[in-house]
Structure 1
Amino acid sequence: MICRVRSSGHGLSDVNKPIILSEDVNAVPIVVEGEAAVKAQPAGPAMMVLGALSVSHCLNDIMQSLIFAIYPILKENYALDFTQIGLITLAFMFTSSLLQPLVGLYTDRNPKPFSLALGMGFTFIGMLLFSVAHVYGVILIAAGLVGMGSAIFHPEASRVARAASGGRFGFAQSVFQVGGNFGSALGPVLAALIVVPLGQGAISLFSLIAAAAMFILWRIGIWYKPRIMPRVAKKAAREAIHLSSRRVNFALVVLMVLLFSKAFYLSSISSYYTLYLIHKFDVSTQTAQIYLFVFLASSAVGTFIGGPLGDRFGRKYVIWFSILGALPFTLALPYAGLVGTLMLSILIGLVIASAMPAIIVYAQELMPHRFGMVSGLFFGLVFGIGGIGAAVLGYVADRAGIDFVYQVCAFLPAIGLLAVFLPRLKYRAA
């Protein structure tokens, strides 16, 4: 049986046509074994699921960002050097980056509706270990467990978001991802308010966040289980788009390069923006942290609007605009005053962050039989590139100065020109 989503007649015709005449609209046929196909679900419950996924993503990323926020405490308590701190980051990045596409590939073939709650269980254990760890090796294990929880969470949660999208795939990805943005912004704030004054043992309080997320994700698993398609027809999915395997692979490479430019530039902001502001404008640490929070908040807003814009105008155009469109602002940033820097950082966050939902959904549409693997690959790349970017830019800053870092990184959005090589996705009727 071939399932299609039909137009509702409420302004979503560009998204839900069974025969796609414009780009970036996913109507890939899905083969369901047996007689019963999964019926369209009411918008209310689906929106509740999207909201629950976004909240879970927020809780997950709060705990992720907490790891980096407590580095000063760990460094002071255990006399760690920068190499040992870097190995903690490596332990987290290794499991979170490299395992994500493998987890996604496995769940593509063997869907596990309750794997989201299981993954959060690893994070729960990791948080408890962080609170009691007094040996460096245990700290590394704790970081690896949190990374493993993240690796299990992201690809499958992205798939569930698509299942709850009602055909608005970009919107669903935006709602899902914006929770992670806010979580990343809140993590350092909560660390400053809770862990810094109370000490390392207070990290155990964040295990309660993981427990709450486990409960939410278990309920999501109950909703998702009856909606799992037992088998996706790989051949039907490939025949649905007018692209050869070679062109699909080339497009994926282009998307990865575009993602590199976005993630590497954002790494320069998230890792060194406060130091840049303190160095250049002699502001206080608290003021610099507020500026960083404003940037992260603007990025969250950009993430939220990027998906719906892709649904409305086409994902290729949003990718083009969101990466290349940030270029004038990034070029001006190194030469702006304090107020100008604040305004430019807001514009950069709004524009460049809008690319991520469009990139994820576009990649899923290139490989509709591998939603989990593709989602895990691209989320994993964000983690990996961010970690590598922080290390490389730190080395450059030590040698040439923090000002030079922002002058060089200002040209990264120019890589957005490569979006011209992304193909127009057109589907043939099944």
Structure 2
Amino acid sequence: MATALSTSQSANKPVYNILYIIGICHLLNDTLQSVVPAMFPILEASMGLTFTQLGFIAFALNMISSVMQPVVGWYSDKRPMPYALPIGLTSSLLGILGIALAPSFWTIILSVIFIGFGSAVFHPEGSRVAYMAAGNRRGLAQSIYQVGGNSGQALAPVITALVLVPLGQFGAIWFTLVAALAVYFLINIARWYAHRLATISKQQMKNKKVKMQLDPSYSRAIKIALFVLVFLVFARSWYGSAISNFYTFYVMDAYGVSIARAQWYLFTFLLMGAVGTFAGGPLADYFGKRNVILLSMLLASPLAIALPFVGPYVAFAVLALLGVILMSSFSVTVVYAQELLPGKIGTMSGLIVGLAFGMGAIGSVALGSIIDSLGLTFTMIAVAFLPLIGILTWLLPTDKKLIEWQK
């Protein structure tokens, strides 16, 4: 009896060392992904690629990841795969090596497919590790995990300014060391993951599944909520894609700055986005997930609309606020989806995070084509209205309702 109580109490406490390590691995994984958009200005200059071709590179990277993530999550819900984590990062390592040596557009596409596959494997399994180590602080745990990824993405402009501008395309080869470090960490995470699985009661898992299957009365409401959540992720991802992939070109055109200086605008947005990602989870633990999602989208709207019209100095402040506010809902949408369908942790993590990548991929191609056809300024003004879609958050069930559905 005492042993059971001790196990129950420890299960409610976050395993912080695991959360920090998986967060660092997320940072390393997304740093590898960040090398790809960081190379866009280099590739445009050296290979003469069009905005549409750059969009297709982002499409290949993100679409492979987005399509595979829910599949990996669905499969790992049935058969968890601890050692898939280091295997996935090994694929990314090969992709980084390929992109450093790629002589043509199509070899770049092939290389980013390897990186996309590695990311597809890492994200749902990494999110599952965060969930297993969360205890009773799921919002905080998911924020620790996701802030690593957003921090890695924030490094893209720094990579461009400090590595790729002076060293060119071949400079990407240094990031194979980053991939190797991630593989090492993930081997150790995989051991903990496998041990944790061995200590979980199979009977408890079966009982949880039976409970869910015996309570189908909310299935229609859950499907509607999931559809609304997907639409919100769509709006946030398209806007984020516009900033991440094309805003540096807008800055160079509108403010007449160099490639290296333009990266600091993007770095401001992405770095403060990482701050917002970390803050969002704890705020959601205290004030509710739906409230954080709603305020994140609506408060970001006036800033997004103002951004194309402000000057070069005010733009830094607007981007900083925009990053914090908009990205505060990133980890929260993942936790919301997990609690919407608590028996499908991997599937929901893969769906929401994978969808973010997928919508960003489609957005990259679409936005690149629109820029080629209608111009950069028009496109940046038009996408600024996307966060207004956040008004649909009112259609989501409240946190209290989610708790009722789980009973």
TM-score higher than 0.5: yes
Are 1:267 and 2:241 an aligned pair?
yes
Contact 1:63 1:187 in 2 (8 A): no
SS for the counterpart of 1:166 is: coil
SS for the counterpart of 1:427 is: helix
Are 1:220 and 2:189 an aligned pair?
yes
Deviates more, 1:204-213 or 1:299-308: 204-213
Q: Which structure dedicates a bigger proportion of its chain to helix?
A: 2
Q: Structure 1 stretches of 5 or more lacking a match?
A: 7-36
Contact 2:62 2:360 in 1 (8 A): no
Deviates more, 1:394-403 or 1:372-381: 394-403
Identity %: 41
Are 1:426 and 2:403 an aligned pair?
yes
- 1:104 is aligned, of 64, 73, 87, to 73
- Amino acid of the structure 2 residue aligned with 1:236: K
Instruction: Give the 3 Å change call, closer, same or farther, for CA 177–341 of structure 1 in structure 2.
Output: same
Deviation of the 1:428 alpha carbon? 6.7
Q: Deviations over 1:359-383 (max 9, x none)?
A: 1000001111111011111111111
- 1:313 is aligned, of 287, 294, 299, to 287
Partner of 2:368: 394
Partner of 1:384: 358
Contact 2:20 2:145 in 1 (8 A): yes
Deviation of the 1:88 alpha carbon? 3.4
| Aligned mates of 1:426, 1:356 — CA distance in 2 | 21
- 1:40 is aligned, of 3, 10, 14, to 10
Deviation of the 1:278 alpha carbon? 2.8
Instruction: Give the 3 Å change call, closer, same or farther, for CA 104–333 of structure 1 in structure 2.
Output: same
Deviation of the 1:272 alpha carbon? 2.2
Partner of 2:349: 375
Deviation of the 1:71 alpha carbon? 4.0
Contact 1:66 1:188 in 2 (8 A): no
| Aligned mates of 1:90, 1:334 — CA distance in 2 | 25
Contact 2:51 2:369 in 1 (8 A): no
Instruction: Give the 3 Å change call, closer, same or farther, for CA 328–114 of structure 1 in structure 2.
Output: same
Deviation of the 1:137 alpha carbon? 4.8
Partner of 2:211: 236
Partner of 1:330: 304
> What is the root-mean-square deviation in Å for CA atoms of aligned residues?
2.7
Deviation of the 1:181 alpha carbon? 1.2
Alignment map for 1:282-301 (pairs within 5 Å): 282-301=256-275
Are 1:341 and 2:315 an aligned pair?
yes
Contact 1:61 1:187 in 2 (8 A): no
Contact 1:262 1:413 in 2 (8 A): yes
Contact 2:66 2:355 in 1 (8 A): yes
| Aligned mates of 2:368, 2:108 — CA distance in 1 | 23
- 1:354 is aligned, of 303, 316, 328, to 328
Deviates more, 1:412-421 or 1:186-195: 186-195
Contact 2:56 2:364 in 1 (8 A): no
Contact 1:5 1:167 in 2 (8 A): no
Are 1:414 and 2:388 an aligned pair?
yes
Normalised by the size of structure 2, how large is the TM-score? 0.88
- 1:185 is aligned, of 154, 157, 168, to 154
Q: Deviations over 1:22-56 (max 9, x none)?
A: xxxxxxxxxxxxxxx77625958x11111111111
Alignment map for 1:114-129 (pairs within 5 Å): 114-129=83-98
Q: Structure 2 stretches of 5 or more lacking a match?
A: none
Partner of 1:59: 28
- Amino acid of the structure 1 residue aligned with 2:108: I
Instruction: Give the 3 Å change call, closer, same or farther, for CA 64–343 of structure 1 in structure 2.
Output: same
Deviation of the 1:291 alpha carbon? 1.6
| Aligned mates of 2:5, 2:248 — CA distance in 1 | 47
SS for the counterpart of 1:234 is: helix
Q: Deviations over 1:222-244 (max 9, x none)?
A: 1122222444532313567x961
| Aligned mates of 1:278, 1:195 — CA distance in 2 | 17
Instruction: Give the 3 Å change call, closer, same or farther, for CA 365–188 of structure 1 in structure 2.
Output: same
Instruction: Give the 3 Å change call, closer, same or farther, for CA 104–63 of structure 1 in structure 2.
Output: same
SS for the counterpart of 2:403 is: coil
Partner of 2:129: 160
SS for the counterpart of 1:325 is: helix
Contact 1:171 1:308 in 2 (8 A): yes
Alignment map for 1:137-156 (pairs within 5 Å): 137-156=106-125
- Amino acid of the structure 2 residue aligned with 1:345: L
| Aligned mates of 2:5, 2:377 — CA distance in 1 | 51
Deviates more, 1:338-347 or 1:224-233: 224-233
Contact 1:277 1:288 in 2 (8 A): yes
- Amino acid of the structure 1 residue aligned with 2:122: F
Deviates more, 1:91-100 or 1:184-193: 184-193
